[in-house]
Amino acid sequence: MKIGDNAPGFCLEDFQGNEHCLQDFAGKWVVLYFYPKDNTSGCTKEAKGFTEMKPEFDKLGAAIIGISKDSPASHERFINKHGLEILLLSDPEHKVMEAYGAWGKKKNYGREYFGTIRSTFLIDPEGKVAYAWPKVRVNGHVEAVLKQLKAQLPA
């Protein structure tokens, strides 16, 4: 996934069973982030960071969408436990993650396995990738995304 590429379309469910499609956000900026697992330390910090900064993203006309392979029920618990105010979608078969290059081989303690690669994509109102963070470190990430979004907007 490179800057200027068309963002792959998708339709996924939220915790209430409502379907959300990328095309529903046509004409808006979208912060699309992929994360490994609900209620883990890094994923919680990232989701809470996006929730805290949501008013800033809203002012700039940007929607925030988080995607993991967790179930809608897991998302509901995650949202309720941490007071999250961002849209979380379930991709249990990791098809959307694969389309964005956010699913791949990982190593942990010498063990190799396939899993979610924490990554974020800034999608412009025309549905093109405006910026990509292929391997995210949580600390400072939300601020970096907001800064990049502001840089993309006309002065």
Nearest partner of 1 among 108, 97, 112, 140, judged by Cα: 97
Catalytic residue check, 21: no
Provide the pairing of β-strand 103-108 with 19-21. Answer: unpaired
Burial of 48 (0-12, 13-18, 19+ CB in 10 A): middle
Single out the catalytic residue among 32, 43, 64, 132: 43
- Residues serving a catalytic function are 43
